[in-house]
Structure formats: C-alpha cells, structure tokens
Structure 1
C-alpha cells in the first residue's frame, strides 16, 4: 500500500512539471524555477514515502 508521502510527492512533482511548462511557454523564468523546485521537492517527498513503505513491509 502506498504511503501518503508517495502520493503527495507525486502530485507536487506533477504540479511542478506543469508550472515549469507554463513558465517556458510564457517566458516567465521565475515560474520555471518554481516549477523545478517543486519537482525536486516532490521527488524528495516521494522518496521519503518509498522508504517508509519499505520499512512497513
């Protein structure tokens, strides 16, 4: 069973990907940077969830 951090991390990563894409389309470098930061945060949170899940099993 997936951990809530895995879901939240995946959602944050997806949102960051969208933000970065919109930033690229509009030429908004700040939005691109925020998107990349969100993606990284999401990956970290997803990894935390993976580790928690591994210890549960």
Structure 2
C-alpha cells in the first residue's frame, strides 16, 4: 500500500467521523461536508486502483 492510498483512506475515514459528528450535534453542514469527504475519498481510491492496475500492481 502506497502513501497515496493511505491518504485516500484517511480522507474517507475522516469524512465518516465528520458525518457522525454532524449527526450527533445536529449540524447539517458538517454532516454534508463529511459525506462529501467520503465521496471524494472513494473516487480518489477508485482512480488510484485503476492507476495501480495500469502499473501492474
């Protein structure tokens, strides 16, 4: 696992935590930001996986 993949996974996990915090506090903006961070992490991970396949990893 390379450092880029770790960063993408951290983005996804951070988004999940942010969403949970937003739900717990009733802050819809924070909850939405958390969901957006998760989506960004997932899309970056998908791109990274495709890049790895092209490199033969």
**TM-score, length-normalised on structure 1?**
0.88
Match of 1:12 in 2: 11
**Aligned-pair RMSD on alpha carbons?**
1.1
Between the two proteins, the alignment pairs up a number of residues equal to: 56
Query: Displaced runs of 4+ in structure 1, greater than 4 A?
Result: none
Unaligned stretches of 5+ residues in structure 2: none
Match of 1:46 in 2: 45
Q: Per chain length, whose mean CA-contact separation is higher, i.e. which structure has more relative contact order (CA < 8 Å, sep 6+)?
A: 1
Deviations 1:2-49 (A, max 9, x none): 344322211100000000000000000000000000000000111111
Unaligned stretches of 5+ residues in structure 1: none
